[in-house]
Amino acid sequence: MSTAVVTGAGHALPAAAEQRVMWDGYFAGHYAGVRAAERVFMGAGVRTRHAVVNPIDEDISDWSTGARMRRYLPEALPLGKQAVAGALDAAGLAPGDVGLFGVVTCTGYATPGLDIRLASDLGMPSDLQRLLVGHMGCYAAIPGLAAVGDFVTARSRPAVLLCVELTSLHVQPARAELEQVVSHALFSDAAAAVVLEPGAGRGRRLAGVVARTDASTSDHMTWDVTDLGFRMGLSPRVPDVLSRHVGDVVDELLQGAGLRVEDVAGWAVHPGGPRILDVVRDGLGLAEEQMGPSRRTLATHGNCSSATVLLVLEELGDVDGPVVVMAFGPGLTLYAALLLPA
């Protein structure tokens, strides 16, 4: 049986804005009187972020969820199309070669959705199979990768996975809650895509996926649909919970391939925030430079939910050896994937 190999990647970003400009131009007034708000906002590890809706120019904090969803498709379609086209071009494939198109998102919904509309616009075949991975949150790229990888392995046909997240559509009304300051300080917009091919002799082979959910801490991270968009709940205890599980998850992932932490050449860790990266570094005994791709991605792009770990994987570049991809989200859930040279 052939294996699924990542052979191409692409991404697309909306307009950029500096973190300081965002604070001075909008969020300083939004959170006026909230103690430590500026320190938290500017200490999130983000220098530049991307937004289809810049609140300095257009304040949508009082928009209904329906109005936000009507904005989602026209903003998401060109970003998704650019990301998928770039990934296919990098893999040397045409849209007609694709057997399965998977789309991951937790920030917008419509039917017919991105999967149908983009498949048509790009010229994918009429017998294309499609998969939507919805509302799983920041870790969703990895179960999406596992699902399309299984298709590639079982059917011996190429597949594309696209993550599109437009968190800027969910700026919340002003409340004196530091938790909301943290969320608005971190989250950003992006689209990222990867192509997987059966048995390719180049790229990175998907060698394993491990998941762990600690349901006893399910209230620590939430993403609730409200009448005024989607609202993030984020407990400061999240890094402590992750610290209890990250070592076991990585050990299980690597033992299946007969590897140790020392054998891993590259780490693509979802930068949920600076403290989360610190927890992964310390829990696995990694050097700070091994967190470099994740910290650079956080600094230049922010936390783009499910798309972020694919951006980190691109930032990692062509390292020679095993790569661990890791992400975290509601549940609390940890997902990790092992990529080996093809």
Q: 234 pLDDT exceeds 90?
A: no
Say if residue 163 is in the same domain as residue 177: yes
CA distance 134 to 33: 36
Q: What number of CA atoms fall less than 13 Å from residue 256's CA on the CB side?
A: 17
Round to whole Å and give the CA distance between 325 and 141: 10
Residue with tokens 């927890």: 279
Query: Of 198, 219, 238, which closes a domain?
Result: 198
pLDDT of residue 33: 87
Which residues contact residue 304 at a Cβ distance below 8 angstroms, ignoring those fewer than 6 apart? 50, 165, 167, 187, 188, 189, 190, 192, 311
Residue 2 near residue 156, CB atoms below 8 Å: yes
Assess whether 165 and 217 both reside in one domain. no
Look at residue 1 in the predicted model and tell me its pLDDT. 60
Question: What six digits make up the tokens of 126?
Answer: 């009429």
Encoding tokens for residue 271? 């930068």
3-class state of residue 8 by DSSP: strand
- Based on the domain organization, do 217 and 105 belong to the same domain? no
189 and 128 in a common domain: yes
For residues 23 and 101, membership in a common domain is answered with yes
Q: Which of 198, 221, 241 is the last residue of a domain?
A: 198
> 178 and 224 in one domain?
no
Domain count, the chain: 2
* End residue of a domain, out of 144, 175, 198: 198
194 plus 232 within the same structural domain? no
Range in 30-34, 118-122, 164-168 the model is least confident about: 30-34
Least-confidence region, from 50-54, 176-180, 209-213, 309-313 = 176-180
Q: What distance in Å separates the CA atoms of residue 187 and residue 272, rounded to the nearest whole number?
A: 9
Which pLDDT belongs to residue 65?
A: 98
Looking at the structure, do residues 80 and 210 belong to the same domain, yes or no? no
Question: 137 and 77, same structural domain?
Answer: yes
Same domain, 193 and 285: no
> ∠ CA(209), CA(215), CA(221), 5° rounding?
90
pLDDT in tens, 41-93: 999 999 999 999 999 999 999 999 999 999 999 999 999 999 999 999 999 99
Interstrand relation of 4-12 and 204-213 (parallel, antiparallel or unpaired): antiparallel
Measured between alpha carbons, how far is 54 from 56 in angstroms, rounded to an integer? 5
Encode pLDDT of 247-288 as tens digits. 999 999 999 899 999 999 999 999 999 999 999 999 999 999
Tell me the C-alpha distance between 126 and 299, whole Å: 40
Q: In terms of residue numbers, what domain contains 267?
A: 204-341
pLDDT at position 2: 75
Would residue 163 show up in a list of annotated catalytic residues for this protein? no
**194 and 208 part of one domain:** no
In 3D space, the residue among 53, 97, 99, 96 whose CA is nearest the CA of residue 76 turns out to be 53
Domain CATH number, residue 291: 3.40.47.10
Same domain, 119 and 169: yes
How far the first Cα of the chain sits from its last, in Å, is 14
Structure tokens at 64: 């209904």
**Which residue in 156, 158, 150, 78 sits closest to 125, CA to CA?**
158
The whole-angstrom distance between residue 163's C-alpha and the CA centroid of its chain comes to 7
How many Å is the maximal CA-CA distance in the chain? Answer: 61
The single residue of 106, 138, 163, 304 carrying the catalytic annotation is 138
- Alpha helices by DSSP H, listed for 124-229, are 141-155, 178-186
